[in-house]
Amino acid sequence: MKTARFIPFIHSLYLLAAGLWPVLHLRSFIIVTGDKTDVWLVHSVGLLSVALGITFLFAFIKRQITEAMFVLAISTALGFAVIDFYYAFTGVISPVYVFDGVIQVLFICLYLFFGRKVNPA
């Protein structure tokens, strides 16, 4: 299914935007997400998100959407979702992170539903 090939592309754009935002404009990121005590950690997570986004974009461009790429994509989204929900619901981080968690769950569902229909070659 051709539609399924676009999931890593859309996911890559989301990860790139989410990762670059705090790196390029920390002030607006803090206004939306709340004060941060460890800016180095915000930048670290942002740049790791960028690295994942570049990887998913590369897989899409090269048509190398493999099972390993799907495992990485699902585990990435799951990791972000668990952190978002747990720490937002325990009051450690801003409730705005629940929105990101919902988006991550949506990506997981898209990969699980459409992922089996993609021919990697």
DSSP string covering 56-110 = HHHHHHTT---HHHHHHHHHHHHHHHHHHHHHHHTTSS-TTHHHHHHHHHHHHHH
Q: What is the pLDDT of residue 121?
A: 47
- Residue 9's pLDDT band (cuts 50, 70, 90): very high
Q: Are the CB atoms for 56 and 21 separated by under 8 Å?
A: no
Q: What is the pLDDT of residue 114?
A: 84
Q: What is the mean pLDDT of the chain?
A: 92
Tens digits of residue pLDDT in 63-100: 888 889 989 999 999 999 999 999 999 999 999 999 99
